[in-house]
Structure 1
Amino acid sequence: MRTQTDDGYLPALGNRQIQMIAIGGAIGVGLFLGAGGRLAAAGPALVLSYAAAGVAAFFVMRALGELVLYRPVSGSFVEYAGEFIGPWAAFASGWMYWINWAFTGIAELTAIAAYVHYWAPAFPQWLTAVLALTVVMTVNLLSVRLFGELEFWFAMLKVLAISVFLVVGLVLVVFAVGQAGPHNLVSHGGFFPTGFPLVLMSLQSVVFAYASIELVGITAGETARPREVMPKAINGVVWRIAIFYVGSVLLLGMVLPWTSYEAGTSPFVTVFSGMGVPWAADAMNLVVITAALSSCNSGLYATGRILRSMAMKREAPRFAGALSSRHVPIGGIVFTAAMFLAGLVLFYFMPERAFNIATAVASLGVITTWGVLVYCQLRLRRTGHRSDFPMPGTPWTNWLTLAFLALVVLLMPFADADQRLAFYLVPCLFVAIAVGWWRRTVYRRRVPAQAEA
């Protein structure tokens, strides 16, 4: 019989599931769907954006690894923010992470609806999104073991799809089949066909593509033998970033001219369809839907635990702290699912822009989370702590990573309309979080005063 943790959870996730969750967290619709539009906008040089963001993601994960081994906890970076920066930082980062997943979920449900529409154009897209949400919410409410098992198979399918593409793409390039060849990187307007600035402007969407790699840290509180499992899972991010992301984008740029890709169409479908494979579009359609379901599934898992951690400190609605008899944070999961559902209104009014707007807003949460992790690791080192799993190059790599994340945000108002909209929401988010923190502070002052009276 498994013994529950101090947080009330059951350590039901094993090494097999953690490894695949770590893999699956780094592969989503940001790559399967979003890479097509980014290639069409930036050209072959997009691979530089993926490489730069990949380096930042690597240092973020190593910072997370050092923090997790210091203190494995299900609240993850929210707990670390509270310890190393202050209670206000835990409050702000927790809600920004929730915003990240709330809008990511909206984007993923939008993608699911659009791709099911490909098969069933007469079926209402809003109903598709609701059904998809119902499935992943049910999985999360039943048990963490079921969540882990489902994510294992979701990740397996995604990895298999990418692996098949890498093998096929490499064969096409090496043997110069059809249009394939390294010449595609420079022969259609050069390596920077639309200019270097557009490569920089793509950084926000590329960062979103890497979003949720930090999910493995949140699983620490429900992982058997975290000090043994976590370093292996986190180290694996390095080669996954290099192969699955940078390698895939590089091959996409060589297999076909960058002008062959377009927004709203999976670049992998474009490649296989160009080969004349009749079932390719259907197969990749299934993979994209699976990737989106996986992301929604992970989002509910992560936010449920983050919200419960915050609710225990009265930094989130009290019901978000509810734990079911199955040791699942039912309150936080239902709260996030309700936001997913409400966010589908965006899809109803702006179906063409909903995905891009949602991912742009979600990126702000991703950047906040990454920044908090890197800074907390820096503060941990300043305490004199020495880890068996140290972040390379600290403190210089910390500051370089933080500078990169700041650059991504500062570039957003100069990009497209959707990124500008997200950037202009920053003051609104700041005010909302500040008001929330003020109310929380006032409440805490009143409670002791009433108790004394």
Structure 2
Amino acid sequence: MTQDEMQPRAQEDLHRGLKNRHVQMIAIGGTIGVGLFLGSVTAIQKAGPGLVASYAIGGLVMFFIMRALGELLLYRPVSGSFATYAAEFVGPWAGFMTGWSYWFMWVTIGMAEITAVGVYVHYWFSGIPQWIPALITLGLLYSANLIAVKLFGEIEFWFALIKVVTIVAMIVIGLTIILFNFGNLGKTASFSNLWTNGGFFPFGGLGVLLSLQMVMFAYQGLELIGVTAGETENPEKVLPHAINSVVSWMLVLYIGALLIIMSLVPWNQLSANTSPFVMVFEKIGIPAGAGLINFVVITAAASSCNSGIFSTGRMLYSLAKVGHAPRAFGKVSSRNVPAAGITASAAIMLIGVALNYIVPERVFVYVTSISLVGALWTWALIVIAHIGYRKAVALGKTRPVGYRMPGSPYTNWFVVAFIVLVAMLLSLDEGTRVALYVAPVWFTILGVGYQIAKRVAAKAI
């Protein structure tokens, strides 16, 4: 298969129905999930207030990744995104492995998120088996994704808006309490809580390092902007604005929320078994605060699963276009959506429903840690493909664009080194170590699959 054959064909059959507000909220919605609302307390216990530094470092890394992706998107705004660029600027094998790894990542995230819905519905209906709300959620989101990309964009816009409004409300309410000492919580709330309980870095630099894996898990989903490229109106204008805005939004929301939470309630008083958001709303005294946050967590999980169904369908579509997946996935329905890819991905996510029936208490930990394998690989290949693109521009083999990643190639290699560090840190925690067990198995399967795909393509010529 030649290099030209590796590039996807024109994708006019996908409808460009996503506006700037859709693109930004798709990325925000895919990123803000149960990792922030529930998982942040685990990271706080490892780093204390120093977790803010972890999020800042992770945010800087994501800034470079997104700028590299943005430059590639402006060069070729296609739905295949990272898989397309990996194939063109690294090699066909890289495109195959990146596309399938990203599909794998979002399928497993989808399983985790419908599991979260099943768990948190128990807050109101404790007698319902966990697998039933998981199945209902998957069915509703699957149906919505089959209708039209614009409907998906609208659903994701409102899902994400609920999360953003909740976080902003907590920041504003919390800041008011800290500054004006309102209510019972106002008597002890203070920014000094950030450094008077063992210091800002109570566990030193090691605590910051150990929290990085949870931090990077929380940033998963920002790269969804790349998947929307093939269906974005006026991508040359919308994509750069969306990338710049979404990275800024995430830093403000994540760091702002954590600073307020740990100022309202000292970090060492946060319960490992309760969402810090739920605890803060309860202590503030907002009526039904815990129920409100429980609803937000459910919408956060549904939103992330919604993004997963969207992205996996598009990735299978793009893989099929270059012969790396069955041809049926490369077709769109009468509504201009890749229905076959969406259906296949949702069908695999049914495994998550089955796991919720078989091992409901362990499924969430398993699938969330495994999803990191695809995320770290995808991020690394984005910046490596960007190096290849810059080399091609320097040799006059392709065209430059006005939107550029700063500091390249040094910042590219900084990102790669950081990703390797995070992968090594996964081995230090029993809960995340399973990802390192799955990784060699997954990439062995991909290696065999790539050889099969090459042989099939050779016979077709």
TM-score in same-fold range (> 0.5): yes
Alignment deviations for residues 19-56 of structure 1 (CA, whole Å, 9 cap, x no partner): 33233333222211211222234322111211111111
- Structure 2 counterpart of 1:389: 403
Alignment of 1:237-386 (within 5 A): 237-383=246-392, 384=394, 385-386=399-400
Superposed displacement of residue 319, structure 1: 3.2
Alignment of 1:199-238 (within 5 A): 199-238=208-247
Superposed displacement of residue 194, structure 1: 4.4
- Structure 2 counterpart of 1:110: 115
Alignment check: 8 A CA contact 1:204 1:412 kept:
yes
Superposed displacement of residue 273, structure 1: 0.6
In the alignment, the residues of structure 2 paired with residue 206 and residue 93 of structure 1 have an alpha-carbon distance, to the nearest angstrom, of 22
Paired residue type of 2:435: A
1:418 partner SS: coil
Distance change in 2, residues 1:219/1:316 (3 Å): same
In the alignment, the residues of structure 2 paired with residue 305 and residue 79 of structure 1 have an alpha-carbon distance, to the nearest angstrom, of 12
Alignment deviations for residues 162-194 of structure 1 (CA, whole Å, 9 cap, x no partner): 110111121223235132112222333333334
Distance change in 2, residues 1:357/1:47 (3 Å): farther
Paired residue type of 2:319: M
Alignment deviations for residues 63-84 of structure 1 (CA, whole Å, 9 cap, x no partner): 1110111111111111111111
Paired residue type of 1:355: F
In the alignment, the residues of structure 1 paired with residue 83 and residue 296 of structure 2 have an alpha-carbon distance, to the nearest angstrom, of 32
Alignment deviations for residues 311-367 of structure 1 (CA, whole Å, 9 cap, x no partner): 122212333333211111111111111121113344444434332322211112111
- Structure 2 counterpart of 1:412: 426
Structure 1 window deviating more from structure 2 (84-93 vs 382-391): it is: 382-391
In the alignment, the residues of structure 2 paired with residue 171 and residue 314 of structure 1 have an alpha-carbon distance, to the nearest angstrom, of 57
- Structure 1 counterpart of 2:416: 402
Superposed displacement of residue 116, structure 1: 0.8
- Structure 1 counterpart of 2:36: 31
Q: TM-score, normalised by structure 2?
A: 0.92
Match of 1:59 among 40, 61, 64: 64
What 5-or-longer segments of structure 2 have no aligned partner?
Answer: 1-9
Alignment check: 8 A CA contact 2:18 2:232 kept:
yes
Q: TM-score, normalised by structure 1?
A: 0.94
In the alignment, the residues of structure 2 paired with residue 18 and residue 218 of structure 1 have an alpha-carbon distance, to the nearest angstrom, of 10
- Structure 1 counterpart of 2:457: 444
Tell me, yes or no, if structure 1 residue 144 matches structure 2 residue 144: no
Q: Would you identify which runs of 4 or more consecutive aligned residues in structure 1 move more than 4 Å?
A: none
Superposed displacement of residue 424, structure 1: 1.6
Structure 1 window deviating more from structure 2 (248-257 vs 40-49): it is: 40-49
Alignment check: 8 A CA contact 2:47 2:207 kept:
yes
- Structure 2 counterpart of 1:432: 445
Paired residue type of 2:20: N
Alignment check: 8 A CA contact 1:37 1:261 kept:
no
Paired residue type of 2:59: G
In the alignment, the residues of structure 1 paired with residue 204 and residue 176 of structure 2 have an alpha-carbon distance, to the nearest angstrom, of 30
Tell me, yes or no, if structure 1 residue 89 matches structure 2 residue 94: yes
In the alignment, the residues of structure 1 paired with residue 458 and residue 73 of structure 2 have an alpha-carbon distance, to the nearest angstrom, of 32
In the alignment, the residues of structure 1 paired with residue 422 and residue 195 of structure 2 have an alpha-carbon distance, to the nearest angstrom, of 26
Structure 1 window deviating more from structure 2 (274-283 vs 123-132): it is: 274-283
In the alignment, the residues of structure 1 paired with residue 25 and residue 205 of structure 2 have an alpha-carbon distance, to the nearest angstrom, of 35
In the alignment, the residues of structure 2 paired with residue 42 and residue 351 of structure 1 have an alpha-carbon distance, to the nearest angstrom, of 29
Superposed displacement of residue 203, structure 1: 1.4
In the alignment, the residues of structure 2 paired with residue 263 and residue 93 of structure 1 have an alpha-carbon distance, to the nearest angstrom, of 35
Superposed displacement of residue 213, structure 1: 0.7
Paired residue type of 1:48: A
Alignment check: 8 A CA contact 1:137 1:300 kept:
yes
Tell me, yes or no, if structure 1 residue 75 matches structure 2 residue 89: no
Sequence identity, in percent? 47
In the alignment, the residues of structure 1 paired with residue 180 and residue 251 of structure 2 have an alpha-carbon distance, to the nearest angstrom, of 23
Paired residue type of 1:31: L
What 5-or-longer segments of structure 1 have no aligned partner?
Answer: 449-453
Q: CA RMSD in A?
A: 1.8
Structure 1 window deviating more from structure 2 (146-155 vs 351-360): it is: 351-360
2:198 partner SS: coil
